[in-house]
Amino acid sequence: MSVHTSRGHRVLWWSLLAFGVLLAIAAGTALWAFQELEGNIRTDHAATRELEAHAAERPAAGVGPARNILVIGEDWGSGTGNARSDTVLLLHLSGDGERVDALNVPRDIVVDIPGCRTPDGETSEPQHAQFNWAFQFGGAACTIRTFEQLTDIRVDHHVVVGFEGFADIVDAAGGVEVELAEPEHDPNVGHDLGAGRHRLDGEQALAYVRARVFVGDGSDLNRLLRQQDFLGRLYEKVTSQGTLTNPARLYPLLAAVTSSITTDPGLDSLEALAGLVADLRAVPDGGVTFHTVPTVPHPERPDRLTLDRPIADRVFADLRADRPLPERV
């Protein structure tokens, strides 16, 4: 699945917002505010140590100056009492600066998850399980190692976005409007809206983007499309109200954003994030494409997915070689 056009740009811009890179626009913000916002960003030293401990098993670095950034949406609402990765998105920045390929990884792909260091210092058993369990077992490092073993693509940087922080971001933006053709109700996530137009606050928005089982066809891919649409609406809401040029409106939004993210040491400063946004904004129109890892229904596990080989292997090979992805994959 591949999409160009404005939706790809909206997804990319939302990723920038999640990184906190809109701080680069707030040049007039007082120094104390700048320092306070930078202090909100958490650094994932634990993941760095774990990845260094498993350096020998990781893929080789990519071709030339191309970069791969893994964005992980952390969800505490799974009902397990533990965090899982609700959304995982790879941003591949081409070495020539002409392209950004955004690759969504469905959470329900059944994969081999390696033994990972758990929060209590133990090591989990290797498992054949759905992809989003990796984050529960060993945080960002386990998700990265699982992704790298699945794709043979080296991850250069990562950002974890907390879903509870997402609700704060929506509230700081003043809510987001959606329109439903029919009522929606998903008791698993507290989603309950009638048909018609609604302005969602942060709590309602969180339920809306997490709704799945009782909405549409109940698939994870359908949920991804809902999230993409909502995040595009959030971007349009923020930019249409002049928030980016009004420090009084921008600061609460940026405080919510920076408080919701955790990054590796290479991205944990406003300077590093500002450099990233400069590179991303320099990508020409039409250079942003949005894709989903090719999958098919799992032959033995209902409601689960497996890679659609060899199509998926070709996608991964193109990314490793920094080649443009096919129009449709």
CB atoms within 10 A of CB 237: 17
Torsion of CA 166, 168, 172, 174, to 10 degrees: 80
Which tokens belong to 80? 């397990």
CB atoms within 10 A of CB 196: 11
CB atoms within 10 A of CB 55: 7
Instruction: Please classify residue 188 by burial: count the beta carbons closer than 10 Å to its beta carbon, then call 0-12 exposed, 13-18 middle and 19+ buried.
Output: middle
CB of 117 within 8 A of CB of 123?
A: yes
pLDDT in tens, the chain (329 residues): 443 334 444 455 455 555 444 544 444 455 667 778 888 889 999 999 999 999 999 999 877 899 999 999 886 554 444 566 667 889 999 999 999 998 989 889 999 999 999 988 899 999 999 999 999 999 999 999 999 999 999 999 999 988 767 888 888 888 999 999 999 999 988 999 999 999 999 999 989 988 888 888 877 778 877 877 887 788 777 766 666 667 777 778 878 888 888 999 999 987 787 777 778 778 887 888 888 899 999 999 988 999 999 999 999 999 999 999 876 65
SS3 133: helix
Residues 6+ apart with CB under 8 A from 49: none
Q: Which residue reads 């799974």 in tokens?
A: 78
- The Cα–Cα gap between 186 and 208 comes to 9
Q: What is the pLDDT of residue 96?
A: 95
- The Cα–Cα gap between 322 and 94 comes to 6
